[in-house]
Amino acid sequence: MQLDRCLSGDAEPGPELTGMVMAANALRPTRAISESARSRAYAAMMREAQRRARPQRSTSYTEDLADPGIHAREAKAGPGLRLAVADIEGISDERLEEIAANIAARLSQNAPDRNQ
């Protein structure tokens, strides 16, 4: 109630409300908001509230490889690292090793020194 009076200019904010009044003034729009913009903002706010209210799904992700045209292979790329490769062509052991070597070489490259 006291915050409403301070925001409308009817009362001076005390030290306990100064921060809240400053935050409210910072969030106040500088130009008039159209009704369509207001309704879009309200709809976005409600979508976000509903998204947050839903229970979180498990963090484990399982890739759907039901499409028979997709071939997938996994390889260890180091301690605690895995390399997943998916392609429309078959992935042989030699090709998987070649891809892993190319990625390892790419990751080990240093960025060029642009100060020279």
Per-residue pLDDT tens over the stretch 19-68: 888 888 777 767 777 888 888 888 888 888 888 888 776 566 666 655 56
Count of domains for the chain:
2
Whether residue 57 lies inside any domain: the answer is no
81 within some domain? yes
Same domain, 48 and 84: no
Is 58 within the bounds of a domain? Answer: no
Question: 36 and 77 share a domain?
Answer: no
Q: Among 53, 87, 55, 57, which Cα is nearest to 70's?
A: 87
Q: Which domain holds residue 87?
A: 71-108
Question: How far from 77 is each of 12, 83, 99, 111, CA to CA, in Å?
Answer: 64, 6, 11, 21
Look up the pTM and report it: 0.33
Shared-domain flag, residues 76 and 47 = no
Considering the domain architecture, whether residues 44 and 77 belong to the same structural domain is answered as no
Rounded distance between C-alpha atoms, residue 108 and residue 5, angstroms? 62
C-beta separation of 23 from 6 below 8 A:
no
